[in-house]
Amino acid sequence: MNQQNKFVSGLAALCAVVWVLAAIHPADRQAWILENLLVVLFVATLALAYRRLQLSNASYIFIALFVILHTIGAHYTYAKMPIGLWAKDFFGFSRNHADRVAHFGFGFFLAFPVRELLLRFGGIRRGWSFWLPPAIILAISGFFEILESIVAEIIAPGKGVEWLGGQGDEWDAQNDILSALLGSLVMMAGIALTSRKKSMR
């Protein structure tokens, strides 16, 4: 227990350092605040729930990786992320795809803790435990796209998809959700393949 406490506080400290560095001179302060609202709520929930609900170290590593990825993306407001701009020029994409990578990362990294939660607390059988996490990721992604559209209408009415990270893609919502779904499916396939190997031994 103590061992895990140390490990989790180390991860939290690492995230905090990255977060503070990224909070200095973000590309757009208003967008930065909006991007960070949900993450701060999410991390605060995990911290408050920690006494009653402890996930495995692997789950916390995946959560920390997603938080760091998103923290960096929020600093550059995604559409201006340097590595995405570089990929845009290099591969000749029509837009900066850094946000799609983050959506994929959301599905990939968070499907693992969701599966653990379902298996340990929800009583879900193993066979179903590979299909319900992608379903939950899809549901949260859809909910996020709804929230995003409401925020867009409040802050920049009429500008619509353009104000969001849409960058001219009218299928932006669908593509974002699809990225998250693919991420979660890759993670589930990874777990299915590696855990099968273990049971064969």
- Is there binding between residue 155 and another protein (CB under 8 A)? no
Which of these ranges, 22-30, 34-42, 67-75, 171-179, lies near another protein under the rule CB under 8 A?
Answer: 171-179
- The structure tokens 């789950």 sit at 59
Task: Confirm if 109 and 58 have CB atoms less than 8 A apart.
Answer: no
Among 122, 155, 192, 195, binds another protein (CB under 8 A): 122
- Residues 6+ away with beta carbon under 8 Å from 23: 32, 75
Q: What end-to-end distance do the CA atoms of the chain give, in Å?
A: 29
At residue 96, φ and ψ (nearest 5 deg) are -80, 115
Give me the least distance between CB of 74 and another protein, in Å please: 22
Give the integer Cα–Cα distance in Å for 143 and 148.
Answer: 9
Query: How many residues does the structure list for the chain?
Result: 201
Number of H helices, E strands in the chain: 7, 0
Q: Angle 89-93-96 (CA atoms, 0-180°, nearest 5)?
A: 80
> According to CB under 8 A, which one of 27, 34, 43, 136 is a site residue for another protein?
136
Residue with tokens 């855990």: 195
* Among residues 156, 171, 190, 195, the one that binds another protein under rule CB under 8 A: 171
Q: Coil, strand, or helix at residue 184?
A: helix
Binding flag, residue 178, another protein (CB under 8 A):
yes
Among 56, 57, 174, 195, binds another protein (CB under 8 A): 174
Judge contact between 78 and 139, C-beta under 8 A. no
Taking the complex as a whole, the smallest distance from the CB of residue 100 to another protein amounts, in Å, to 14
Q: Which residue number, 7 or 143, has a Cβ lying nearer to another protein? A: 143
Residue closer to another protein, measured from CB, 50 or 144: 144
The reply on whether position 186 binds another protein by CB under 8 A is no
Q: Which of 138, 151, 186, 191 binds another protein (CB under 8 A)?
A: 138
160, 190, 192, 195: residue in contact with another protein (rule CB under 8 A): 160
Answer yes or no whether residue 157 interacts with another protein by CB under 8 A.
Answer: no
**Given the rule CB under 8 A, which residues bind another protein?**
118, 121-125, 128, 132, 134-139, 141-143, 145-146, 149, 153, 160-161, 170-171, 173-175, 177-178, 181
